Structure 1
Amino acid sequence: MTTVIRNQGTSLAVREKLAADGKPVLLAFSCGKDSIAAWLAMRDMGIEVVPAYLYYVPGLRFVDEELDYFEQKFQTRIKRYPHPSLYRWLNNAVFQAPERLRYIEAARLPEPSYEQMWDFIRADIGLDKNTWCADGVRATDSIQRRGAFVQYGYWRRNLKKVSPIGDWLKGEVLDCIGGHHIELPCDYAWFGRSFDGIDKRFTKVLKDKAPADYATLLEWFPLLEVDHVR
């Protein structure tokens, strides 16, 4: 049973509208359970899903293996792009050694917003600029998200964002994934959630579970371990 979002109808109606439009839908795919379920729910309605993954740090083996798994299960190529956070971390010298600062400043890296990045992705893939970008955001994630759904609904037209499983409960998400014989990524066993940062919640685990990936993180952020001891 789904949750009720006041005055906003159902996510089923959202998926029916997307299916009736007959246009591809971009998916912000994170390898997390909610984005997996959103992909499955739209695919089950006959919607063409175009997934894209925003990586926080390039070259992490465990992330590449997860993406390879989902590409095989869905028989769909998942495009990869840098997450805006990567630019922000570098420009703000997060966990950087002092000798690197002049090179970072000289690089004059851009700092795109999340919306600008998805506009770039639409253009790079060759999608219409008004193509909807779906996410796995759900009203039951938090009080704040429920409030946003009550105020804005499933569609954020100014941002070209849509939440096709916004009224699903966690149980529905897991039932959908299990019913399609999809395995959750190792993130949930390691971190209890999908990987989305370079703080010690993730990096201390990677140091033990995936030392090669931890070494890659240190190449990008050499002072990372200060977060482990503060």
Structure 2
Amino acid sequence: MLLREGLVRLLADGGIETVAVVGDGPGLVRAVHDQRPDLALVDVRMPPTHTDEGLRAALEARAGQPGLPILVLSQYVEESYATELLSGGSAAMGYLLKERVADVADFLDAMRRVAAGGTVIDPEVVVQLLSRRTREDPLHLLTARERDVLALMAEGRSNTAIAARLGVSEGAVEKHISGIFTKFGLEPAADDHRRVLAVLTFLGR
């Protein structure tokens, strides 16, 4: 309850209106159906078992409202949850650790990026996904700089933001992304978004 009310005040201070506050999965599904929000901000753990009810409710809500932007918050890094959340289509999806809320500006930016159709993955999740890859994984075809670029792509960063973070030109970022596409075998196609497919490959689809 305290976390929910605190978030409502934080969002209000950031110019974001909260149209509903709920305490369980069924309440979330109903609120999404009734309010048709621009974004659902969801805790992974909800009553009654406080395991993955929030994630399940988020996926159910999205099934009822295709394309619903969802940003899930978790206390700990749980790679399987992040992967499952994004496996049905990663547009307008995000997964962050609750500690990221402490950096209010970055947190609000993440919410806005997801609401606009972007994908945001917590940097700590990115680190753990990188660390558990085997030598046979396509990720190991990438150079160190390409892995850096892909990790920032997975966080939902634009080419401009990636260039600023790495201290390189946007042209260099585009070159690295092209290399990632080539090494992952992602050819241009009218019906596929190669940037999203590259992130899904990174997540271990």
Give 1 or 2 for the bigger CA radius of gyration: 1
Bigger helix share:
2
TM-score when scaled to structure 2? 0.24
Larger RCO, structure (CA 8 Å, separation 6 or more): 1
